[in-house]
Amino acid sequence: MERKENRVKLRTKINLLVLLNLLFVLLLFIVSLSWIMVRREFDETGQNALATAKTVAALPEIKQAFKEPDPSLQIQPIAENIRKKIGAQFIVVSNMHLIRYSHPDPKMIGQRMAGNDDTLLLGGQGRVTEAAGTLGLSIRGKYPIFDLDHHQIGVVSVGFLTRNIWKKLTSLIFEIIGLGAVAAAFGLVGAFILSGHIKKQIFNMEPNEIAFLANQQAAILESIREGIIAIDTTGKITTLNREAKNMLEDKNGDLIGREITRILPNSRLTEVMEKGAPQYDHQMIMGNFLVVVNRIPVMFNGEVIGAVASFRDKLQLDQLENRLADIGKYVDTLRSQRHEFMNKLHLISGLIQMQEYDLVRKLITQVNGEQQNILNFFLAHIRDPAIVGVLIGKMHRAKELGIQLTITPESYVRDRCPHRDIVLTILGNAIENAMEAIQSAARDKRPAVISVHMKTEMAGLYMEVKDNGPGIDPDLGKKLFDDGSTTKGTGRGFGLALASRLVSRINGRIQMVSSSEGAALQVDLPIMEGQR
């Protein structure tokens, strides 16, 4: 039964997140701006009312009117004229008993002022207050009236109704909310476009799908037997599996993010990025390994965004190839041995029929002696079975090619050959090179001979593979041990380079001595205290 997961899509999450952020910011902005506008509007209204009250209190006509029998006859027209000009709801002038001399409603003239906020004014101080009067709740500016002798003779009160102030502010706040709604709509459209772009960039996959693919690819990279290295356009390593790290010389620390030219100078990945063309089945030396490498550029929208190299130890590939080849060689060997054995049986049968019994005994003794001599020699001189296996295999190979492969009588290798892996690599490579050199050259009447000398001493192991071929091409010179240095064509020239690296790593010595009489590869490998 399949499990259905009701998960919110990434695009929906992005849209919701952007929308919520916009709403929060807009709400915070609108509330803050509205609070500032309200506070400023009320403050400005109160200060405007106070300034008007102070101006009215300073008018000479107002002060002179207090001397008349009925001050309201002069004060009311002046107060109403000013009130209408400034848009106030009322301008009330009263005496020290708070009896009104002016009011927007003439019926209120002669009555006491309302609001109970005039105590300080009677003490000669101006102020801004908020109180409910006959017209409703209002913001008031109040100021005392002084005569020419600076004696207080009355009070001026200028007021603006709060409901009118709020009506003006509400209109402004709704305008701000409308602008915020437009901004939110634009933000939501932008979020929709952004989420669509992000989804396109990640190939319309969800985060859980990306995480699954990432874990799956990591498992695949670690499970395969090939090394994988990927770089970006700056030449820095972005992907590296365990097999690749095991082959690299620099195994300390995290290699991700480091430049490929510092870790693997001869990777040629930057060249692949520049040319945009893949390279297949190229050989190169990587650390202590001779590898077969494939390099391909990584493309995105027609542009190169990186490069990937995959490589496999050539020795492992050769082992697989050799196993397949060995089956054919084994069949050929059995066929040739059968043919040789049948020839000898026919010879023995003929000699018996001819009653040449002495010749029969000599032939049997000779065949048995040859095999016994080879066995006795290896038991006495070359005791390491791995070395014996390589030498016997190469002897059969040389015999098929008409080449005589000999091991010097002075050779001696003990049960466990020091630096066995290095010796096997160099020995097999050197003998193959010697056989190829002899085959490629025009032969004179001299027999083709390859001589192997190996000897283990207290200080180290000395090995020499010598042939009587044409020698080393002078054009190679000192480049003999460089990567790819060869005259045999592309894809060759890595055997001696790898041998040189392996020998130098253990502070050994390797050199090639060449003349017209042939060439000799000489190797000295030091033996450490624990290897003796």
How confident is the model over 311-326, as pLDDT tens digits?
A: 887 666 665 555 555 4
Q: What is the pLDDT of residues 171-202, one digit of tens each?
A: 888 888 888 888 888 888 888 888 888 878 77
Q: Whose structure tokens read 């290699």? A: 255
Two tokens at 474? 């002078």
pLDDT at residue 161 in the model: 86
CB 93 within 8 A of CB 109: no
CB 363 within 8 A of CB 351: yes
Strand extents, DSSP E, 45-126: 90-95
Higher-confidence residue: 332 or 502? 502
Mean confidence (pLDDT) of the chain: 79
pLDDT at 506 over 50: yes
Domain ranges (residues) in the chain: 12-168, 226-312, 380-531
Q: Do domains 12-168 and 226-312 have the same CATH topology?
A: yes
Q: What length does the chain have?
A: 532
pLDDT at residue 323 in the model: 53
pLDDT at 485 over 60: no
Assigned fold of 226-312: Beta-Lactamase (3.30.450)
- Give CATH superfamily name and number for 12-168: PAS domain (3.30.450.20)
- From the list 410, 403, 455, the residue with the least C-alpha distance to 431 is 403
CA distance 335 to 408: 30
CATH number for region 380-531: 3.30.565.10
Two tokens at 258? 């480091």
pLDDT at residue 1 in the model: 39
* Mean predicted confidence (pLDDT) in 87-107: 87
pLDDT at residue 452 in the model: 92
Highest mean pLDDT among 98-107, 199-208, 470-479: 98-107
* Mean predicted confidence (pLDDT) in 49-76: 88
Q: Report the relative pairing of strands 404-407 and 127-132 from DSSP bridges.
A: unpaired
Phi and psi torsions of 63, nearest 5°: -65, -40
Q: Give, as one character, the DSSP assignment of residue 448.
A: P
Contacts 24+ apart (CB under 8 A), 169-176: 169/34, 169/37, 169/38, 169/41, 172/37, 173/30, 173/34, 173/37, 176/30, 176/33, 176/34
> Which of 38-52, 195-209, 489-503 comes out lowest in average pLDDT?
489-503
CA distance 63 to 498: 116
Higher-confidence residue: 79 or 359? 79
